Structure 1
């Protein structure tokens, strides 16, 4: 029962999570160490794995995000790194990039990012409640909803597994 109470407290903590919108991100370019500190600070309350410079360099190398200009990263790259960090545990980075490109093809990157973050926050703020999502009006909206469902389900399952953490019994053959 104590574990269930801990899970319920975690759900209530998620109700207070605030994620930055596009305009909340720095208006100036950042160096790598600033980028990793900012991204990890933003995602820390969600319990998402930390982002390392090696990961970001790999995204640049594989054209998942744009290369920095004079070793400095801009808002567009920050939002891409945030989205990739949220979605990478469930999808290959190429799939995440393709999804971001698809969504931004029908919407400006700022609007697409703000919409995704707003919907993710809304889902987190209603964890443990009966909350009905508005019906998707097109495939892009459905893609966003399904991606958010995946992120939230992953966060929930990882939290539950950490709380359960019972040692597994070995099955012995007789």
Structure 2
């Protein structure tokens, strides 16, 4: 992560390099300036300081870009707010990187071992990985829905208390 603040065009250039591995083809961009502006507008990402983005912004953008492949922006927003209530953004990013590296290593190992068995085995692995991905996405969405339902009464009580004080 760069230690200096970056302007939007620099952020896009930096993030393009960071996310290259995850692009399916060159014509598909995982992040644009419009997306970043929408994340800020929707409070998924903190506002830049005088149009400059910090390394914390870049860390959160990296996480958002990875998660948006499987979760809605609403779910990502809820997840990040919940996580950053108890963890600094730097710690969250470090945990994210460690987990991502482990998962990628495990997947690469499975693919490598299966590749030795031939094309049919790879095709079956692609199906298996797709089924696993769908099941994991569904589980994550349900967990987030449950957590949101638990949090809703607390949020409503805070609103009611604030109204009574006015």
Category of TM-score, reference length = shorter chain: 0.5 to 0.7
* TM-score (ref. length: structure 2): 0.60
* Contact 2:6/2:53 (8 A) holds in 1: yes
* Contact 2:5/2:54 (8 A) holds in 1: yes
State the Cα RMSD in Å. 2.3
> Please, which of 7, 10, 21 is the counterpart of residue 45 of structure 1?
21
Q: Secondary structure at the match of 1:127?
A: helix
Give the aligned partner of residue 113 of structure 1: 93
Q: Which has the larger radius of gyration?
A: 2
Aligned residues: 111
The structure showing larger relative contact order (alpha-carbon pairs under 8 Å, at least 6 residues apart) is 1
Q: Which runs of 5+ in 2 are unaligned?
A: 111-128, 135-166
Give the aligned partner of residue 4 of structure 2: 28
Q: 1:65 to 1:88 in 2, by over 3 A?
A: same
> Please, which of 47, 65, 77 is the counterpart of residue 57 of structure 2?
77
Cα offset, 1:50, TM superposition? 2.6
Give the aligned partner of residue 167 of structure 1: none
Please identify which structure carries the higher helix content: 2
* TM-score (ref. length: structure 1): 0.57
* Contact 2:7/2:52 (8 A) holds in 1: yes
Q: Report matched runs for 1:1-174 at 5 Å.
A: 25-47=1-23, 49-129=29-109, 153=133
